[in-house]
Structures are given as structure tokens and as C-alpha cells.
Amino acid sequence: MDNKEIELEFSIKSGAPEKQRSACVVVGVFDNRKLSEPAADIDRASDGYLSEILRGGDMDGKAGSTLLLHKVPKVLAERVLLVGLGKERDFHEKAYRDAISSAIKTLRDTGSMEAAITLSEIPVKKRDTAWNIEQAVISTHDTLYRFDHHKSKPNEVRRPLKRVIFSVSRRGELKQGDAGLARGLAIAHGINQAKDLGNTPSNICTPEYLAGEAKKLAKAHGFGCEILDYAACEKLGMGSFLSVGKGSDKPPRFIVLKHEGGAKNAKPVVLVGKAVTFDAGGISLKPPAEMDEMNYDMSGGGAVIGAFRAIGELGLKLNVVGLIPACENMPDAKANKPGDIVTSMSGQTIEILNTDAEGRLILCDALTYAERFEPDAVIDLATLTGACVIALGAHPSALYSNHDPLAREIEHAADHAWDRVWRMPLWDDYQEQLKSSLADMANIGGRPGGSITAACFLWRFAKKYHWAHLDIAGTAYKGGRDKGSTGRPVSLLVHWLINRAARP
């Protein structure tokens, strides 16, 4: 939101909804006008006022519907907002998050500066109070997020929402609620940082800009930070990474972040994020349509920075390294050409058949660089392939791994974060598609299984540790007229790191 934090105060309370002294109290109504428990409490206190309104046909509880009531009898809040929850048997994670979003949108649009939201009391199958509160905080931030820093007249909210109280059904749940609130705020701040970076246009968000943002974050949270320039990368032999940026006048940067929250000798986990700050495709030029969205090709690197923001706020007792190879992929006389052969940091040679398959060329050197940390595990994340979008759409990120226990950890974290993944095959059979007669490998394997062969390419550089790859091409941003960064998979990464930190 204009690269500033949303100024919003959150708190957790328990108590009767009709006794909440607030500008607005928010309650849910299921399909066919069935009242949620807090709504039923208000109905009883008001001598059936809500039931009478519903019988009149003003609202039926369909998902996404809202109805704002003023001066409900015997209720201390000035207004009561009814939010449709849909069918009770279908009220799962998505329906819960959507209900919170609908409530926040209506509160924003009706000028409510304060609200007590009871939707957080409604049970979501297999989820606890901490989950409800965490997701409510994240959904609230997501709904209120704006990026209008580059508009001459930003849209001002006349009476912005300033205070939100999430309710829990029993006082004994307050501790859980507070834990969910702290986690939700850290994750929301990390997501917002990733969104801001993704939404910043590429004429501003250059590799040098990203490096500067990493330095600011490191200073704010006491992280170690090292920025490797072209000469340093060349000295390390990062021929594959450096080849991608040759066609740009924006010099590449290799960003290293370190959070040393664990035991001194404990092996770190490493997060590697692709950060192509603009991807024109190079000589294999992309078609003009939708090329404007290619500033989002740094979303992997942005998510690593966002995750570091969250773990800094949480003070995780874990050693974490972030590696962000940042560059532009542009067409120029110096740019990579189809048929060129480059030598990676690992010493393996790569025939570049398509210069638009550049993400793997920068990630492979980052994966080799990760070896020096003797990592406990490595996760790379990248808007890597359009093939992934065709395969899975915009809902799950694709997950590949050379270690089944690590893959299960990530799946568990993704489910809890509601930042879902779908595991894809990483079979040796696909390696045949990467054969080259002139080099150790080609950088593409043809159209069939394009996301899989891209992962198979990366696997060749991750043999010395437990590794996972997340292809976030379909999940990191939304395209079209309403284009914008989603901040995914910051939530997934943070939950995975929290679980790692909790290990004995």
C-alpha cells in the first residue's frame, strides 16, 4: 500500500457479541438464513430482530452477500453487519477466507473505522483458533492492500478502517488467538513486502534496487547481507548466471541474506529466489501481448525477501540463508543467442536452445553456490515455466523434490498456510529430453512436460543436498487488467521455516 504499512490495529477478545462496544459488529449467516452462533446470540438479545429481517427476504446467506443494519435493538454496537457464509457443509478454508474478505470490503466501503468480527469464532473443519485468527489477519491485509504509489492522484479512503477486533468463543482460546495474530501479522507484512517489490515497475525495480531493498531489510532486522557484483560473480565462475544479463545495461547482482537465529554450528536451510527484474525473452523475444507482466519474473526473489521480513519479525530460532540472483533478460548485440554454449559454476556446460528459458540458467549457479553452506535443505522458487500454468492453473504451485521427507514437509506447511502445492514427477525418464550433442545438456527439453524438464534441469545442480523446487509461474501474480502480485509463496515458506525451527 504505497510501499507503507497498513495502519491497522488488531486485538483478540472473547465475550457476547451484543455487548461489544464497537462501531460495527460482524456476524455470519449461512445459506437458507441459518444464523451462526454469534448471530443467534444477537438475535436472542434483540428479540428476534435478525430473524425478522431475514424472513423479509433482505438476505438469504449466500456466500459473498452482506447486509448492514443500523441500531439493532439491545445491541451496544452502532451497526451490525451480516455476512453470507454459503452452505454450512461447504464452509471450509476458502469459504472462511472469502467471508473475512467480504466483511472487510464492506467495512472499508461503508466507512467503518472500527469493527468487532465474530466470523473468527466459526469452526473450520480440522483448523484451530490460531489458524482462524492468522488467516483472518492475512485476508484482512490482502483485502486492504493497494499499490497506487505511481498514480498522480492516489485513491484516498475517506474513513479508513483503523481497528479490528477478532473474537474467540472462549477466554481459554485467547492465548491461541494471540499466537495466531502474531504469526498472521508477520506473514502479512512479508506478503506485502513481496507484493510491493513485484508491483514496482522494472524501470525502478532493477537488480540494484532489489539489492538496496535487501540491504534495508538486513539493517532493520540484523541480518547478514552481501551483494556480489559482476566481477565477484565472474571470479566465482558463474558463467550461466552472468550470460543472461549480457543484453541489458542494468548490471546483475547476486544477493546473499543470512538470518543466524539458530545454534552456531547448526546447518542452515537455504531459500533461492529467481529475480529476473524484466524478462523480454532475450533474442528468443516474447510476443508483445502480456509482456508488460514480465516485471513479475522477479517474484521468487521478492518472496525470499518477504519471507526474511517475516522471520525477522518472528525472531525464528533457525539459521536461514537467502540467495537471490538478480538480472534482466533483454535482446542486445551482446545477449545470449540460440546455440550459444555457456559454462556454469558447477563446470557443466549448457547449450542455450531458447534464451527465454533463462530462469534455470541463473538458478543453476545459485544452487551450486548453495553448496558452500552445507545446507540441511534447499528450496528454490521461480516463475519458471508457462507450462506449469497450463498444467495446474493459478491455484497450486508445482512442487518437485529429490527427497520425499522434504516434499512431505512442504506439503504439510502449504496445507496449513493455505498456500497450496501439487507434487509433480521428477523421473529420470524426462532427462532424455535435455540431451545435447554439443554440450553436457540443453536448457530446454521441448514442449512436452515443460515444467518437469525445467525441474529436471535444476536437479542436475542440486545433487549434493536435499532440494525442492517450486514453480510459481501460475501463483505469484495475477495478469490482465487487474494485474498484481499475490505475494505467494511467502506464507508457505514461513510455515515451513516455523516448523523447521520447532524441531528438537
Catalytic choice (360, 420, 488, 500): 360
- 250 catalytic per annotation: no
Rounded distance, CA 352 to CA 374, Å? 29
Closest CA relative to residue 314, chosen from 203, 186, 474, 191: 186
- 360 catalytic per annotation: yes
HSE, CB side, 13 Å, CA atoms: give it for residue 487: 29
Contact 182, 270 (CB under 8 A): no
Contact 124, 96 (CB under 8 A): yes
Closest CA relative to residue 491, chosen from 13, 93, 206: 93
The backbone region for 457, taken as left when phi is positive above 0, alpha when psi lies in -120 to 50, beta otherwise, is alpha
What's the sign of the alpha-carbon dihedral 15, 17, 19, 21?
A: positive
Catalytic choice (286, 423, 478, 483): 286
Residue 228 bridge partners (DSSP): 254
Cα–Cα separations (whole angstroms), residue 246 to 204, 295, 328: 19, 18, 8
Closest CA relative to residue 233, chosen from 243, 248, 225: 243
HSE, CB side, 13 Å, CA atoms: give it for residue 111: 4
Task: Give the single-character DSSP code of 336.
Answer: -
Give me the active site residues, please: 286, 360
